[in-house]
Structure 1
Amino acid sequence: MSTATEALLAVAQDTLGPVTVERAPDLPAHLTLLADAAGDRYLLKRHTDPERFHAEIHAYTAWRPQLGARAPHLVAFDEGSCSLLVTYVPGRRADRLRPGSTAEERAHRGAGETLRLLHAVPLEQPAVDVAAFLAGRMLHWAVRAHAAALIDQAELRTLHRHAEELAATPMDGVICHLDYQPRNWIVQPDGGIAVIDFEHTRPDALVRDLARLAFRRWPHRPRLREEFLTGYGRDLSDEEERLLSRFAAVEALTSMVRGDERGDPRLFAYGKALLAAIL
């Protein structure tokens, strides 16, 4: 066992007492599955980015309680190692359900129900200027894409105009998960959907939580959109539909830059095709 792992286990033991590491080959390296003396299981998550660590701690303490049993509970955290200890949510990741299955449709409906609870959390004061923030994010990704020679000067100018239009678009802010997709949904034994991974959570435009689903999952599976919005409790308004379409540029740019940086040709090609469709 590495020294780093031993130090992290000490964080858990300070709260839980003696713990054992359970074998979990499907978990990424930054997650460790633990069990206490009573057999209850927990996840120890280590961050490398202090900003994301603090964002996740804030999400767990300020907004997660609204979700009840539909999310893990924060048990403890350690500033020095940027690690947090949360309860383990049993179940199956929704991205491993068979595409086209009834189970996949049920998962989308349950995910809509869970997101409705999160979006109902009252916003903190002062109010966030969501439009200005999102316009800034669009420009951030556009500049990065241009610097990496992924877009040309004419495309950059067009994206500047898109950002100006976005900044002038009225929109309401809600608490958003911001990585709301099946890989972060857990199908629980009772069929309900729990959500994990709150490191990106912050106030944002409501439809931002639908963007990855809208552009990656729903175009060829409209039934999934229907099930999700049934669980969410309402359809999108015309204004929300138009705003969602504006986020295509942010989704495209993010996917292109990330795909290029990570050497992921599929993600890059997806982003490039999406950008070409809107410019």
Structure 2
Amino acid sequence: MTGTTPTAALAWAAAALGARPAAEDVSHPRETSRVWSLTLPTGTRFYLKISARPVAYERETLALRHAAPALGTGRAPRLRASNAQHLALLLTAVPGHPVKRQTLTPAEEARAHRQAGTLLSRFHHAGDLSAARRKEAAQALRSTADGAGNHLHDACLTVPERRLVRGLTARLRALPPLPLAFVHGDAGDRNLLWSPAHRRAGWIDFARSRFATAVQDFVLLACTTWTDRPDLRAAFLEGYGRDLTPEEKQALACLAALDAVNCLARGPALGDAAVTARGRRTLDRLMAGVFA
């Protein structure tokens, strides 16, 4: 959480917009979420977002300035103004709502995921992967593996489950170099928008964007939406423009194991049954050898 008060941030946003907007708190039900919908007298809508930490502010600002524009008009927020003192971002609204909150036909779902894959491919190729950033991306898998122990001790696992996770963590370290990208970092259904009126998808929330391996952006989808919907996985990768390489598929299983451990440690601590269930389901599938 930042020390910025809503009053100060809203006053800054009003000054940046040149008008006093009607503000509605639309934060997610978690402590780190601070977002307001701002509607001007003309009806034009913006969003004010206060980042939870300086690193999140820096990541999202970089993404919005240098990578998100590659998605195209109406496909991602545009950065109207930013304020490092408040860790505040003033963003344009993107048409649509999260796909997880909508009841769509199978055809609409496939269309949304196909477009989402196309947009994510553009995002992956938009970041400048030179010099230190390429080194950062190349080290991302090892850094993830090195951090696995932070949650392993807190998760309630059986001895065979711990053995499996440790084995997959070791395998992750041994993989050859994989395709690199500027990743979204939280590419799941809650951040994938679909506008039925425009028949158009868009991505929001780039606070976890960074330079990493491309496959790291598929973990959340692989552990949620794609579990029961291989058709949506196929549509997404069709839009993305390629299937995963054999080495990326190995990495995805390893990363899914680490995500499961994280969920099984964090979910109970936060009292979040959905996160806990996600971790348990992923780990059960890995133990059964059916994760794909």
Specify if TM > 0.5. yes
Q: Secondary structure at the match of 2:151?
A: helix
* Matched residue count: 276
Contact 2:180 2:214 in 1 (8 A): yes
TM-score (norm 1): 0.88
Contact 1:185 1:196 in 2 (8 A): yes
Contact 1:143 1:156 in 2 (8 A): no
| Unpaired runs of at least 5, structure 2 | 288-292
Of residues 55-64 and 111-120 in structure 1, the stretch that sits farther from structure 2 once superposed is 55-64
Residue 145 of structure 1 corresponds to which residue in structure 2?
A: 152
TM-score (norm 2): 0.84
Task: State which of 63, 68, 71 in structure 1 corresponds to 2:67.
Answer: 63
| Distance in 2 (alpha carbons) for counterparts of 1:26 and 1:80 | 20
> Which amino acid counterpart does residue 6 of structure 2 have in structure 1?
T
Of residues 172-181 and 194-203 in structure 1, the stretch that sits farther from structure 2 once superposed is 172-181
Residue 52 of structure 1 corresponds to which residue in structure 2?
A: 56
Distance 1:56 1:270, change over 3 A: same
Residue 175 of structure 1 corresponds to which residue in structure 2?
A: 182
Contact 1:60 1:198 in 2 (8 A): yes
Q: CA deviation at 1:232?
A: 1.3
Q: Secondary structure at the match of 2:212?
A: strand
Residue 88 of structure 1 corresponds to which residue in structure 2?
A: 93
Contact 1:208 1:247 in 2 (8 A): yes
**1:186 to 2:187 alignment:** no
Root-mean-square deviation (Å) = 2.5
Q: CA deviation at 1:25?
A: 5.9
Contact 1:211 1:248 in 2 (8 A): yes
| Distance in 1 (alpha carbons) for counterparts of 2:226 and 2:105 | 12
Residue 18 of structure 2 corresponds to which residue in structure 1?
A: 17
| Distance in 1 (alpha carbons) for counterparts of 2:49 and 2:219 | 26
| Distance in 2 (alpha carbons) for counterparts of 1:85 and 1:141 | 35
> Which amino acid counterpart does residue 70 of structure 2 have in structure 1?
Q
Q: CA deviation at 1:156?
A: 5.1
Task: State which of 195, 202, 208 in structure 2 corresponds to 1:200.
Answer: 208
What are the Cα deviations for residues 187-207 of structure 1, in whole angstroms up to 9, with x where unaligned?
Answer: 133211110000000011111
> Which amino acid counterpart does residue 119 of structure 1 have in structure 2?
H
Distance 1:22 1:90, change over 3 A: farther
Contact 2:82 2:90 in 1 (8 A): yes
> Which amino acid counterpart does residue 197 of structure 1 have in structure 2?
D
Residue 110 of structure 1 corresponds to which residue in structure 2?
A: 115
Q: Indicate the percent of aligned positions where both proteins have the same amino acid.
A: 32
